[in-house]
Amino acid sequence: MATTLKQLVGTKMQKVVKFMGNDVKISKLTVMEVQEIQEASKTLKEDSEEGLDILYKIIRSTVEGGDELSDSDFAQLPMDELSKLSSEIMKFSGIGKDEPVKT
């Protein structure tokens, strides 16, 4: 018996990626999360910290255990690694560059 689209609502697609040499599990962004990120990005100023807030939101909503991280936890992680992870999440979610993320 085939699955209906309605039955798939709320189902997360996940995969394991490398972050700082370790395996972490990421999920695809939902349409709602993508819309929220796009809306927040519209008002983004180059010198503002809103960019970090968006980065944190992406990671918190898609990385297993990410919702447990505080802003001060993020501040103790390497920025380039966070950016790579965010890029991998966006690519996995069908947004952004199709190029593979270099690790």
pLDDT tens readout for residues 3-33: 898 988 888 899 999 999 999 999 999 999 9
CA 49 vs CA 35, 71, 95: distances in Å? 20, 12, 22
Domain count, the chain: 1
Can you give the pLDDT at residue 38?
Answer: 87
Judge residue 86's burial from the number of C-beta atoms within 10 Å of its C-beta, 0-12 exposed, 13-18 middle, 19 or more buried: buried
Residue that is written with structure tokens 């695809």 in the block: 28
Can you give the pLDDT at residue 48?
Answer: 63
**In-domain check, residue 78:** yes
**Both tokens of residue 13?**
């697609």
Residue 25: which domain range? 13-92
d(CA 85, CA 93): 12
**In-domain check, residue 98:** no
Can you give the pLDDT at residue 50?
Answer: 75
Whether residue 96 is predicted with pLDDT greater than 60 in this model: the reply is: yes
**In-domain check, residue 2:** no
Mean pLDDT of the chain: 88
pLDDT mean over 37-50: 76
d(CA 89, CA 56): 12
pLDDT mean over 92-103: 63
**In-domain check, residue 103:** no
Which pTM does this prediction carry? 0.80
d(CA 83, CA 3): 36
Can you give the pLDDT at residue 102?
Answer: 43
**In-domain check, residue 47:** yes
User: What band does 101 get if pLDDT is binned at 50, 70 and 90?
Assistant: very low
**In-domain check, residue 51:** yes
